[in-house]
């Protein structure tokens, strides 16, 4: 029997006054959960500062209690003879805990015994979140007390109960210590559960004082912009919960990039978005508009590139910086020539398309790719145009409607290389296969969105809805609401075959991913929404 999954607190964004806390303490026969047993359980449950329950029981450990434990706790063998065994006491105690956040002083010790017993009896580990008052005290009052023992902290906070190594009294004292620590934490802006859980590591940041800049951030989806003292945006990010995400930068993240960002941070701007999709799209648009220096992975390249079939008697693949001009556009845009290279190499591996750039008949002997049999090249003047036209037709058909014409040969080559234990070469071809498949899928998604014109769609649970115009998000609404009148327009008669820039491409990808997530239903569309009949097949698992 497994424990039920703990209920969430809206991504841990619950105000502390609404969070149930179970403050507990255990007495045991020793210090190791692997070889020792529980002798007493004591716990108090609070919500909103009010006591909602008390639990106390002795537990028969089924083994002798060591004399030093009796001296420490006062629990004798005679006291536990009539007490229930742990298999009788634990189910009732787990029900008492429920979905509460577990609190203890050095709580890992108590949880190790509870988890060991729960796993032994078939319940599985406790899923509850936990708070350690010793860890909180180390961050909040370490300089004000001589040590972090429960007795010392209880005296410091003038606890109503003096801890005495008995479970219930120690739990009550821990509760008083918790209230004192929460009062101090509140002055640092800790008002919600996720702030409290992160607090033990938060003060490790050298720039923790700047966490005050997050006080005005809401617990809603949106985007945030980090600005330096000159007002320049140096980082843009998105979040399901703005306050939680931005505050996480101050919670002991030791990455050099984060340290640099916090050092440069002067103020934070934010924009609330109705849905997560709107936040993702807003992030892309803001990154393109501001080109922040710390958004290196998601920032668009300075020179996007496209892949074309050249406009000549024997077309070849060409990587170009502009999509207009003669030739047949195949894929793009890419962040740069290096990003386009794997797709070109995949096409080279899939079909014997021309690789040389010389004029037909300009050489006495065929070029190296032609001599190796991996390309059909006209450089020696012996290649008939009709034979080569079949290669071009295969590329165009594979890109537009029959992807297996291009992906199939790559998959066969991967399997062949793996069978002969040429694993490094197989891995190279696998990476090219994935790059080509990804480009085919993005091209299809773009063209499907262009043909659809305006799309009005909503999530099945009514959490969000969106109006999409040819791959761009026009508007988004939360909770299934939308304006009373929506203008649904038909697509343009001749839409562009590929995006004109990286921003359009990335936004269309985000929109398509949302539409095909499996949780979205189509409400209205201005045109036909249909992909080619032949799907882009995923690469079957091959050990390489």
**What is the per-residue pLDDT across 403-441, written as a single tens digit (0 to 9) for each?**
999 999 999 999 999 999 999 999 999 999 999 999 999
Instruction: Please check the confidence at residue 360 and state whether its pLDDT lies above 90.
Output: no
Domain 16-186: give its CATH architecture.
2-Layer Sandwich (3.30)
375 three-state secondary structure: coil
User: Residue 203: its pLDDT value, please?
Assistant: 54
User: Residue 3: its pLDDT value, please?
Assistant: 42
CB 6 within 8 A of CB 80: no
CB 432 within 8 A of CB 346: yes
- Mean pLDDT (whole number) for 258-275: 91
**What is the per-residue pLDDT across 16-63, written as a single tens digit (0 to 9) for each?**
989 999 999 999 999 999 999 999 999 999 998 899 999 999 999 999
230 three-state secondary structure: coil
**What is the per-residue pLDDT across 438-480, written as a single tens digit (0 to 9) for each?**
999 999 999 999 998 899 998 888 778 899 999 999 988 887 5
| Rounded distance between C-alpha atoms, residue 113 and residue 89, angstroms | 13
Identified catalytic residue from 105, 156, 165, 482? 165
Q: What are the φ and ψ backbone dihedral angles of 31, each rounded to 5 degrees?
A: -100, -5
Domain range list for the chain = 16-186, 204-290, 306-400, 443-525
Averaged pLDDT of the chain: 88
131 three-state secondary structure: strand
**What is the per-residue pLDDT across 169-187, written as a single tens digit (0 to 9) for each?**
999 999 999 999 999 888 7
Work out the pLDDT band at 363, boundaries 50, 70, 90: confident
| Rounded distance between C-alpha atoms, residue 270 and residue 223, angstroms | 6
| Rounded distance between C-alpha atoms, residue 451 and residue 469, angstroms | 10
Instruction: Please check the confidence at residue 165 and state whether its pLDDT lies above 50.
Output: yes
Cβ neighbourhood burial of 187 (10 Å; 0-12, 13-18, 19+)? exposed
Cβ neighbourhood burial of 283 (10 Å; 0-12, 13-18, 19+)? buried
Work out the pLDDT band at 483, boundaries 50, 70, 90: low
CB 288 within 8 A of CB 282: no
Q: What are the φ and ψ backbone dihedral angles of 175, each rounded to 5 degrees?
A: -60, -45
| CA distances in angstroms from 61 to 27, 34, 76, 412, 505, listed in the order given | 11, 13, 11, 63, 65
Instruction: Please check the confidence at residue 10 and state whether its pLDDT lies above 60.
Output: no
- Number of CB atoms found within 10 A of residue 463's CB: 13
**How many Å separate Cα 517 from the centre of its chain?**
15
**What is the per-residue pLDDT across 367-389, written as a single tens digit (0 to 9) for each?**
888 888 888 988 888 888 889 99
Instruction: Please check the confidence at residue 494 and state whether its pLDDT lies above 90.
Output: no
Instruction: Please check the confidence at residue 289 and state whether its pLDDT lies above 80.
Output: yes
Instruction: Please check the confidence at residue 357 and state whether its pLDDT lies above 90.
Output: no
Work out the pLDDT band at 537, boundaries 50, 70, 90: confident
Work out the pLDDT band at 6, boundaries 50, 70, 90: very low
- Number of CB atoms found within 10 A of residue 163's CB: 23
Bigger pLDDT: 544 or 247? 247
- Mean pLDDT (whole number) for 264-283: 93
- Number of CB atoms found within 10 A of residue 416's CB: 13
User: Structure tokens of 410?
Assistant: 């790559």
CB 251 within 8 A of CB 202: yes
**204-290 shares the fold of 16-186:** no
CB 442 within 8 A of CB 516: no
CB 213 within 8 A of CB 273: no
Instruction: Please check the confidence at residue 12 and state whether its pLDDT lies above 70.
Output: no
Cβ neighbourhood burial of 461 (10 Å; 0-12, 13-18, 19+)? exposed
- Number of CB atoms found within 10 A of residue 16's CB: 18
User: Residue 232: its pLDDT value, please?
Assistant: 94
User: Residue 486: its pLDDT value, please?
Assistant: 61
DSSP code for 469:
E
Q: Residues of the chain with pLDDT > 90: what percent? A: 59
**What is the per-residue pLDDT across 125-151, written as a single tens digit (0 to 9) for each?**
999 999 999 999 988 898 899 999 999
User: Structure tokens of 218?
Assistant: 């809401």
Segment (H or E) for 278: helix 276-290
**What is the per-residue pLDDT across 102-124, written as a single tens digit (0 to 9) for each?**
999 999 999 999 999 999 999 99
Residue among 216, 218, 241, 214 at smallest CA distance from 226:
214
Instruction: Please check the confidence at residue 541 and state whether its pLDDT lies above 60.
Output: no
User: Residue 5: its pLDDT value, please?
Assistant: 38
- The residue behind tokens 């036209």 is 389
- Mean pLDDT (whole number) for 57-82: 94
Sheet of strand 267-272: strand arrangement: 233-239, 222-227, 267-272
Return all residues near 43 (Cβ < 8 A) that are at least 6 apart: 22, 23, 24, 25, 54, 55, 56, 93, 96, 97, 167, 168, 171
Name the CATH code of domain 204-290 (choices 3.30.70.20, 3.40.50.300, 3.40.1440.10, 3.40.50.1000): 3.40.1440.10
CA angle 166, 171, 172 (to 5 degrees): 105
- Annotation says 165 is catalytic: yes
CB 163 within 8 A of CB 169: yes
């Amino acid at each position: 029997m497994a424990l039920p999954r703990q209920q969430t607190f809206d991504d841990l964004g619950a105000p502390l006054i609404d969070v149930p806390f179970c403050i507990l303490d255990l007495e045991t026969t020793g210090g190791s959960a692997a070889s020792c047993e529980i002798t007493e359980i004591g716990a108090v449950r609070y919500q909103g500062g009010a006591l909602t329950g008390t639990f106390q029981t002795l537990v028969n450990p089924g083994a002798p209690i060591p004399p030093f434990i009796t001296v420490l706790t006062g629990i004798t063998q005679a006291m536990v003879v009539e007490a229930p065994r742990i298999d009788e006491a634990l189910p009732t105690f787990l029900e008492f805990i429920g979905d509460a956040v577990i609190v203890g002083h050095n709580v890992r010790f108590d949880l190790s015994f509870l988890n060991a017993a729960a796993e032994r009896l078939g319940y599985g580990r406790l899923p509850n979140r936990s708070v350690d008052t010793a860890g909180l005290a180390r961050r909040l009052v370490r300089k004000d007390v001589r040590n972090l023992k429960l007795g010392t902290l209880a005296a410091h906070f003038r606890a109503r109960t003096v801890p005495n190594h008995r479970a219930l009294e120690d739990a009550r004292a821990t509760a008083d210590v918790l209230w004192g620590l929460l009062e101090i934490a509140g002055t640092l802006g800790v008002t919600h559960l996720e702030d409290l859980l992160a607090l033990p590591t938060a003060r490790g940041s050298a720039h923790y004082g700047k966490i005050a800049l997050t006080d005005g951030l809401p617990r809603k989806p949106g985007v945030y912009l980090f600005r330096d003292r000159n007002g320049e945006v140096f980082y843009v990010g998105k979040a399901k919960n703005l306050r939680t995400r931005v505050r996480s930068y101050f919670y002991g993240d030791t990455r050099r990039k984060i340290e640099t960002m916090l050092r440069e941070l002067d103020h934070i701007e934010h924009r609330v978005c109705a849905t997560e999709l709107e936040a993702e799209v807003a992030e892309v648009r803001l990154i393109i508009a501001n080109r922040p220096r710390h958004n290196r992975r998601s920032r668009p390249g300075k020179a996007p590139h496209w892949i074309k079939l050249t406009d000549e008697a024997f077309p070849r693949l060409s990587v170009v910086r502009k999509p207009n001009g003669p030739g047949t556009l195949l894929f793009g845009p890419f962040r740069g020539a290096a990003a386009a290279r794997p797709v070109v190499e995949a096409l080279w591996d899939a079909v014997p398309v021309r690789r040389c750039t010389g004029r037909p008949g300009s050489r006495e002997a065929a070029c190296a790719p032609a001599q190796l049999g991996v390309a059909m090249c006209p450089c020696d003047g012996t290649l008939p145009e009709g034979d080569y036209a079949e290669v071009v037709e295969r590329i165009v058909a594979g890109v537009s409607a029959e992807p297996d014409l291009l992906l199939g040969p790559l998959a066969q080559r991967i399997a062949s290389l793996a069978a002969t234990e040429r694993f490094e070469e197989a891995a190279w071809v696998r990476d090219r296969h994935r790059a080509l498949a990804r480009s085919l899928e993005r091209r299809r998604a773009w063209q499907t969105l262009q043909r659809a014109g305006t799309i009005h769609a909503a999530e099945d649970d009514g959490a969000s809805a969106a109006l999409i115009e040819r791959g761009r998000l026009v508007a988004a609404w939360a909770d299934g609401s939308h304006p009373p009148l929506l203008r649904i327009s038909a697509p343009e008669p001749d839409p562009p075959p590929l995006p004109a820039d990286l921003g359009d491409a990335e936004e269309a990808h985000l929109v398509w991913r949302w539409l095909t997530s499996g949780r979205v239903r189509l409400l209205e569309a201005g045109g036909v929404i249909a992909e080619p009949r032949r799907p882009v097949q995923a690469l079957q698992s091959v050990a390489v």
